[in-house]
């Protein structure tokens, strides 16, 4: 009998170890973030933000949105002061402004004074601030793209999503004109991305033109040729799906 009992508990122990392994593996692949204390460079308000620590990336949608256990990654790209609504990346809260600059930024923030901020509005404010400063067009394009990912959760806001995608195209194009991208494959990627955003907007002629130009670039990233081929086919058949 004691041997049977010992054998039983060994089986139970093994089962629990398997369960614990599965759970530990699951959590290891999950999204994690950590709190960071910052202070607002406009009104010195101190508050806590959450910065991404890790996430599990399974792949990308065809507009470069990450998929997998990415959790609040896109929500935590931009942060906002709870008082004046100054918004930006974490590094933007390490900035020091002169009195004149603070006064100018407060005027930019005035329309948002009584807003109950959402992640999409935080991106909107960050874009307004960066448009005022001397930043790269590619940085503003990224914020518009980030907003377009966030707003996908609200299908009834399709007109706003399209506006964000149009602006992303605008600033990607400006960034390319200013040669802000440093690697040849980035130009293939960004030209392709403009084509994909045009396709989602239903501008199929422009989409096909961008796809055709993108496949002419040398040194493309792995898999980009297949992406161009597949998304060009969708554009040719006038498919404006935003789910892929």
Whole-angstrom CA distances from 80 to 87, 101, 206 are: 4, 18, 36
Q: What is the dihedral of CA 60, 63, 64, 68, to 10 degrees?
A: -30
Of all residues in the chain, the percent with pLDDT exceeding 70 is 88
Output the pLDDT for position 76. 95
Output the pLDDT for position 134. 81
φ, ψ dihedrals at 221, nearest 5°: -65, 150
- What's the maximum distance between 2 C-alpha atoms anywhere in the chain? 85
Q: Write out residues in the chain with pLDDT < 70, as ranges.
A: 1-29
Output the pLDDT for position 26. 42
Q: How big is the chain by its Cα radius of gyration, in Å?
A: 23
Output the pLDDT for position 220. 84
Output the pLDDT for position 88. 96
Long-range Cβ contacts of 66-72 (<8 Å, 24+ apart): 69/29, 69/30, 69/31, 70/31, 71/30, 71/31, 71/32, 71/33, 72/31, 72/33
Output the pLDDT for position 221. 84
DSSP state of 133: S
Q: CB of 221 within 8 A of CB of 213?
A: no
Query: How far is 9 from 202, CA to CA, in rounded Å?
Result: 63
Instruction: Give the three-state DSSP class for 50.
Output: strand
Q: CB of 76 within 8 A of CB of 52?
A: yes
Output the pLDDT for position 29. 58
């Amino acid at each position: 009998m004691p041997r049977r009992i010992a054998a039983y508990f060994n089986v139970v122990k093994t089962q629990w170890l398997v369960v614990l392994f599965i759970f530990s593996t699951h959590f290891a692949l999950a999204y994690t973030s950590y709190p960071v204390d910052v202070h607002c460079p406009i009104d010195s308000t101190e508050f806590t933000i959450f910065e991404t620590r890790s996430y599990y990336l399974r792949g990308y949608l065809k507009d470069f949105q990450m998929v997998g256990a990415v959790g609040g990654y896109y929500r935590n790209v931009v942060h906002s002061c709870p008082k004046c609504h100054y918004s930006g990346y974490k590094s933007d809260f390490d900035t020091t402004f002169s009195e004149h600059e603070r006064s100018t930024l407060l005027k930019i923030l005035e329309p948002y004074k009584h807003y109950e901020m959402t992640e999409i509005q935080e991106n909107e404010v960050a874009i307004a601030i960066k448009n005022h400063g001397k930043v790269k067009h590619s940085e503003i394009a990224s914020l518009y793209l980030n907003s377009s990912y966030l707003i996908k959760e609200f299908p009834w806001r399709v007109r706003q999503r399209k506006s964000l995608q149009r602006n992303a195209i605008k600033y990607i194009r400006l960034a390319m004109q200013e040669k802000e991208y440093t690697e040849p494959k980035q130009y293939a990627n960004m030209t392709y991305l403009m084509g994909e955003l045009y396709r989602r907007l239903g501008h199929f002629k422009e989409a096909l033109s961008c796809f055709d130009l993108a496949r002419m670039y040398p040194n493309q990233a792995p898999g980009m040729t297949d992406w161009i081929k597949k998304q060009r086919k969708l554009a040719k058949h006038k498919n404006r799906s935003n789910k892929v």
